[in-house]
Chains A and B, each alone.
Chain A
């Protein structure tokens, strides 16, 4: 099943609606990274609220998306991880290190806005990422 990717201002929002196969996940990764460049997106939100299982491949793909998007200039935030899923993930040692997370879509948007604000506060002369 293909995951719809919505564009909202400078952000891309991928909302996962049902359990995904490994192929679907890889396809989501390709599509998101390609669109980050095409739309010059500043931020990516992946909403996993609908997922009640998260295996190691899914976690790795999410982490790859975050790192690849960062290399292409966009900050990624994973939103909507369920409490049970979070608990299972840490027990399996899948902790999404180095990837930002937020409670839900609203929080994720707020987080990206804050990041953008921080970036602009740092001034225009410097090019680095926080």
Chain B
């Protein structure tokens, strides 16, 4: 083939005539695709199954989706506008992403459609090579743009979902809770990255101010691993809390974390630590002057 890719149109002698003839060719192409809709669609669905793409979906579902993708595809070719296709791609991605459809599958099926349609053009115009060439010149840039649109739509939707989930995790994972007057606990669960560490600190400092907390227990039982950055951030959090007049007790350091911290030599002398959350709360209550006594211990006196 003489031309390939999006920008491979030969330099036009007169842009007006060329764009007109391109439009005419595209019209012819669309008519051809409409005419052979059933057959091409089936061929496409067959090839998707054969290539073992979209394995998460049943054959009927693939055929149904293939039909609407096909129609949208033809429409985009006809009108030259991609908004409808874009919206459809987004909508489709929204439906198939939760089912575990991968990016390579989506790109794969769109490229397959492109191939199926190109093949049918070969079949139709194989006697008139010159015409075939011109039809492909008109078809290829549009088809590439469509493939691009669908793939980008899918990836964008995926990224949007990931962002949304990250935000959800972030919001869920930093609760500052008041367990007694002037006593807060901050249970940290999961991985602490620098951004999250920063957010944790800011949230804690704000909570200290609004709740007028005197003691804070930070429980890191749910933290699997800690590096020197996170450890230093923890120390900073303790110091910043102290500047607001609150004492911080860190609880739930796992043996692994204790070992890591000692090995990398983080200076934790400024930090009060207690084995578990219960011990931490008891220590905090002692600092605050609370004394929790079981009722039966009080009974004989009364």
Contact = CB atoms under 8 A, between A and B. Distances in A.
Interface of B is mostly: helix
Interface stretch (A16-24, A25-33, A65-73, A101-109): A101-109
A11 to B, nearest CB: 16
Given A86-B244, A95-B243, A103 B236 contact: no
B245 A107 contact: yes
Given A81-B244, A101-B244, A95 B239 contact: yes
B246 interface: yes
Given A86-B205, A87-B201, A96 B236 contact: no
Contacts of B202: 83-84, 87
A63 to B, nearest CB: 12
B6 interface: no
Contact of A83 (B212, B236, B239, B244): B244
B205 A87 contact: yes
Contacts of A117: none
Give the size range of A's interface with the partner.
20 to 34
Interface residues of B, number: 18
Nearest to A48: B243
A91 interface: yes
Given A86-B240, A90-B240, A95-B239, A103 B205 contact: no
A111 B242 CA distance: 14
B206 A102 contact: no
Contacts of B237: 90
B179 to A, nearest CB: 18
Contacts of A103: 208-209, 212, 214, 244-246
Interface of A: 78-79, 81-87, 89-91, 95-96, 101-103, 107-108, 111
